[in-house]
Structure 1
Amino acid sequence: MKEITIDYALRATWQAVARMYNEEAKEFGSTMAVGFTLLSLDPKKGTPSTALGPRMGMEATSLSRILKSMEEKGLITRQPNPEDGRGVLLFLTEFGLEKRKDSKDAVLRFNEAVRAQTSPEKLDHFFEVMEIINKVVTQKKIYHNNTK
């Protein structure tokens, strides 16, 4: 291709970022997926397990494997949801809170490194374009005939 497509740039960049995070997480005996999950859990009130998948944009089967692994490693506990007898709340353990801090620090270091090499104006444009892309995708008007 003579020019890079938007989806290629997004995918290639995200794969590079994911690889970077996984390399960093490996130093802590973890993965990017576990770090992302730690950051997605409410550290004070817990998080309903049913809310976590949509929040993270993950399918239930992938998420359940991650949660099982996290529980086995002592990062989270599951407790009945007092507001919904059928539901479960996920809570970070003390160890989980420590690892959440490690994950947060890694994300903040990455953000600082990018911000140090990018003007505020360019970052504003980046976020504007990402918002447009997200809007275009979520409207689902590209490939579907909306005459239903």
Structure 2
Amino acid sequence: MKDKTIDYILRATWQAVSRMYNEEAAKYGATMATGFALLSLDRDKGSPSTTLGPKMGMEPTSLTRTLKSMEEKGLITRKKNPVDGRGVLIHLTKFGKEKRELSKNTVLKFNEKIREHIPEEKLLHFIEVAETINMLIADKNIFSDIPEEKQMQTTNK
């Protein structure tokens, strides 16, 4: 692992997790994105469609496709927002709530299995490292010491 870059390790790990969740979701005719959306929606009050994309880290076109598929499968319904008539609230159907529980149990099982194999102290270090990486990226502190001209030369190669 010494010769692998941090971004490679992150990407490879995420791809493995994503593949695992998609394989599990496929058993139920779903996808990881569907499961994530089910878990991101407010179970009782519904959620504004405009908050889902940022919450899930999805592009609007991907989110639209996912929500359309979920609506076709009877997992969600769309209703006008009673507070703001221009907006839409996404509500889970009874079927959607059942599938949400399945998604929740799948995520909990994953976490449980990881915790069985990795000591709590190492997990806390992992979380701390991930939070630091996210903070550095959010604060744009990764390439801030490289002059913009040099960045452009590097990316154009």
- Identify the residue that residue 36 of structure 1 maps to in structure 2: 36
Percent identity between matched residues is 65
Q: How big is the alpha-carbon RMSD for the aligned residues of Structure 1 and Structure 2? A: 1.7
- Identify the residue that residue 125 of structure 1 maps to in structure 2: 125
- Rg (Cα) greater in structure: 2
Q: Report the Cα distance in structure 2 between the residues aligned to 1:99 and 1:77, rounded to whole angstroms.
A: 14
- Identify the residue that residue 22 of structure 1 maps to in structure 2: 22
- Identify the residue that residue 78 of structure 1 maps to in structure 2: 78
Give TM-score scaled by structure 1 length: 0.95
SS at the partner of 2:86?
strand
Moved more, 65-74 or 2-11: 2-11
Any gaps of 5 or more consecutive residues in structure 1? Answer: none
Q: What does 1:52-131 align with in structure 2 at a 5 Å threshold?
A: 52-131=52-131
Give TM-score scaled by structure 2 length: 0.89
Q: Report the Cα distance in structure 1 between the residues aligned to 2:8 and 2:18, rounded to whole angstroms.
A: 15
Q: CA deviation at 1:136?
A: 0.7
| Runs of 4+ with >3 A deviation | none
TM-superposition CA deviations, 1:8-30 (whole Å, max 9, x none): 00000000000000110011111
- Kindly provide the amino acid, as one letter, of the partner of residue 134 in structure 1: N
- Kindly provide the amino acid, as one letter, of the partner of residue 67 in structure 2: L
Q: CA deviation at 1:83?
A: 1.0
- Identify the residue that residue 4 of structure 1 maps to in structure 2: 4
Aligned residues: 147
Any gaps of 5 or more consecutive residues in structure 2? Answer: 148-157
